[in-house]
Amino acid sequence: MQVQPRIPDSAQSAHDKVYRGLRTRILHGQIAPGAALTLRGIGREFGVSMTPAREAVQRLVAEGALSMSSSGRVATPELSNERIEELAALRALIEVELASRALPRAHMALIDRLQAIDHHIADVVSNRDAVGYIRANLEFHRTLYLRAQAPAMLAMCETVWLQLGPTMRALYGRLRRTEPPQYHRLIVAALKAGDEPGLRLAVRSDVTQGLRMLAS
C-alpha cells in the first residue's frame, strides 16, 4: 500500500487549482470589472508556471468569466446593459426550472439549512460586507438547486453567475442595503407549502430584483 498522489474529489492538477482559485474569486466579486490580469502574475501568485495559468485563464475566457482583447490581454469584463438583461433572463429561466425540480425533493432538513443561510445573510448585510453577501446569496441558491439533481443545468447556472460576478460586486458595492432580500422568505415559504407556482414567482422575482437596481 502506498500513498495516493491524487485526492479523489478535487484539486488534481495545477491548472485546476488555478482555475478554481480564480473562479471563486470572480464568482464572489472579489475582482472589480475591468481589472487586468497577467499570466506570469497569476503563475507567480499560485506558484506554478505560465502553462497552467494560461489554461485556467483560457477556460475562464471561454466561459465568459474573463474577456480577452485582440492582443490577448486579459481582464474581467465590463458588461453592457443589454448583456446584463440577457444574463438575468437566463438566470430567471434556468433557476426557476431548477427550483421547480427541487421542490418535490425538498424536505425539512433542506428548508432548515436555507433558513440558516438566510439568517447568515442578514448578518453580513448589516456589516456592509458585499463579498460575504454575494457568497452567502449564491450558497442559498446553490443549496436549493442541488436538490434538483440536475448537474448540467446547475453548471449552466453557475456559468451565468460567473459572468455576472464582477458586475454584481460593483452593483452591491455601491448599494447601501441593510435588510436581507425579501424574496428569500417567499422562496422558503413556498417550499414549505409545496406551492410550485408561488415558488416559481418567488425565484423569478429574487433573480430579477438585482436587475432593476441597475436601471437607476
Partner DNA sequence: CGCTCGCGGCTGTGATCACAGTCGCGCCAT
Partner DNA sequence: ATGGCGCGACTGTGATCACAGCCGCGAGCG
Q: Residues in contact with DNA, total (CB under 7 A)?
A: 27
Among 30, 58, 67, 143, binds a copy of itself (CB under 8 A): 58
DSSP-derived letter for residue 2 is -
User: Is 23 one of the binding residues for a copy of itself (CB under 8 A)?
Assistant: no
Cross-strand partners of 67 = 75
Q: Which stretch binds DNA (CB under 7 A): 8-16, 151-159, 169-177, 200-208?
A: 8-16
Residue pair 163/114 in contact (Cβ under 8 Å)? The answer is no
Residue pair 69/108 in contact (Cβ under 8 Å)? The answer is no
The residue (of 75 and 90) whose beta carbon lies closer to a copy of itself is: 90
Minimum separation from the CB atom of position 30 to DNA (A): 19
Minimum separation from the CB atom of position 212 to a copy of itself (A): 19
Place of cell 499570466: 39
User: Is 103 one of the binding residues for a copy of itself (CB under 8 A)?
Assistant: no
What is the rounded CA–CA span in Å between residue 89 and residue 112?
A: 29
Shortest CA distance to 168 belongs to which of 48, 105, 79? 79
Among 33, 64, 132, 173, binds a copy of itself (CB under 8 A): 64
Shortest CA distance to 38 belongs to which of 78, 11, 62, 69? 69
Residues of this chain that bind DNA (CB under 7 A): 5-6, 13-16, 37-41, 43, 48-52, 54-55, 58, 68-74
